[in-house]
Structure 1
Amino acid sequence: MIEGGRPARPWGRRIAAALLPCLLAACGTAEPGPQAQPAMWLVADADTRVYLLGTMHALPPGTDWDGGKVAGAIDSAGELVMELAPGELAAAGEVFGELAPRATPLAIDARLPQPALTRYRALEASGSDFGGDTLDDWAVVVLMAQRAAKNAGLSSSDGVEPGLTARFKAAGKPISGLETARGQLMLFETLDPATQRTLLTRAAAGSDAAMQDIDTLVAAWTRGDVATLAAEINADIDAVPAARRAIVTERNRRWTAWIAARMARPGTVMVAVGTGHLVGTDSVPAMLEAAGTKVTRAQ
């Protein structure tokens, strides 16, 4: 899809990198990387503290993100809550393999207009064949997101979640998840066909700029630049309202309710979710504040 003579913004790349941990897989070596100060918020009352840490699910190898106020929050938290518990994250590949195939193959050439198809083929040529003819539109977007992340030098093993998991496991602290891998992928699987096709077309049309967009997101996340993160992510997802409702707004509403209920029990909790859920007008912090809960920026 071309808008105003220019490629459509690569929605699939940005939103996948920011929101869905089971979408990204890339490799890299552990070398010294950039220092990061990711945004973190705190919800607290007399006997409960809930830290909200905005994550990136894949990062440049060696990124140092767990210093500063984040280090203190990790040490003080008695439990970790992520989008997916470690077992669910491990099962994501199998669930993807089950849900992704189309009932009847359809050539990518028949789904994408030019020059979106040309850009799609260029991204595909940077690695192995996507096998997109046999997959649902949403699943092709997932594979494109993986490829773009890898091409941008990101590594899922260097994302925030593996580091948090290792720290909490070593300390013998419980780890749980807000969702299941199947539940996350069903958010895409149950999108109507027109919305799925829009996501695929926009992602393909903007894939030539995917690495630049990922770099912009990672840089903004590294410096805790909430305004830039909100502008970058929301500018893309606002263009696909049905996807926004399913993948962002409704999930944020469920997670907000979970946090509100958790505040009724004492203790300190680290809640680590994709940064896209913690910025913008319908973010978790915004929903908490709208319900009368005080949220403060902790880093």
Structure 2
Amino acid sequence: MIRTPAGFRAVLDAVLDDDAIAHVFVRDSLVLFGDTPGALPWRMYRSIGLTAARVHPIGRHEGRAHVAVALDDGYAPAHLPQGLRASGLRNWFGVLDDATLSIAMRAVQVLEWDRTHRFCGACGTPTEQLGHERARRCPACGLVSYPRISPAMMVLVTRGRELLLGRGVTFPPGRYSALAGFVEAGESVEESVAREVYEEVGIEVRDLRYFGSQSWPFPNSLMIAFRAEYAGGELNPDPAELADAQWFAPEALPQLPPQLSIARELIDATLAELR
């Protein structure tokens, strides 16, 4: 599972010396410079001559500043200068080391928040970046906007030695995972687990146990994972959400999510206890 690297410290300002590290995006795609995807020394970024629309300090790691760079809107992933190419962040899983990927995931969320909050959502006035916190403020009405974080629950339900796994309608063919869904306004995460499970597959759960959490930029999510026991009901998958849902024995599992996700860590940890 991707985690913030040890020793990383978030910052709001940074000295952009030659050794600073730039995580460069064109829209939501990470840019590759030769054999160096995304993370490259600031001096190299400057030498290429790209035009940035926005630059945001992200943090410091191993003595070096890390910044998020959004290229000017005139660039497109398929039309970059010679020697450059860009691809969605998911495509760099297994290519980037975990530390670089973690910081890039943080960077793309900051850039997307900045792009979508340039104007006040209440009155339409251009907003201003605050210096003492990561926020944008409307100078006209005072509305303050922070980076969007959307809490989402995830739960792996067990029935004896069986695991309940679902195949989302947007999943790659054959892939199954733990159930997941966004927390609604006014409910606790625990309440959202019970609601989502019932809505998606028609069963009830008990003995909810917290497992862990993971920041996930697809889109701007904070995944909060639980384990739960089956309490009753018959599986009845909602076709709007799931193409299929089944109970699986540990010896007969389908294709599972990639290792970098909390979903896979949740499933693997549960399997280790069942075997």
Category of TM-score, reference length = shorter chain:
under 0.3
TM-score w.r.t. length of structure 1: 0.22
Structure 2 length-normalised TM: 0.23
Greater Rg by CA? 2
User: Which has more strand, going by share of residues?
Assistant: 2
Bigger helix fraction = 1
Larger relative contact order (CA 8 Å, sep ≥ 6): 1
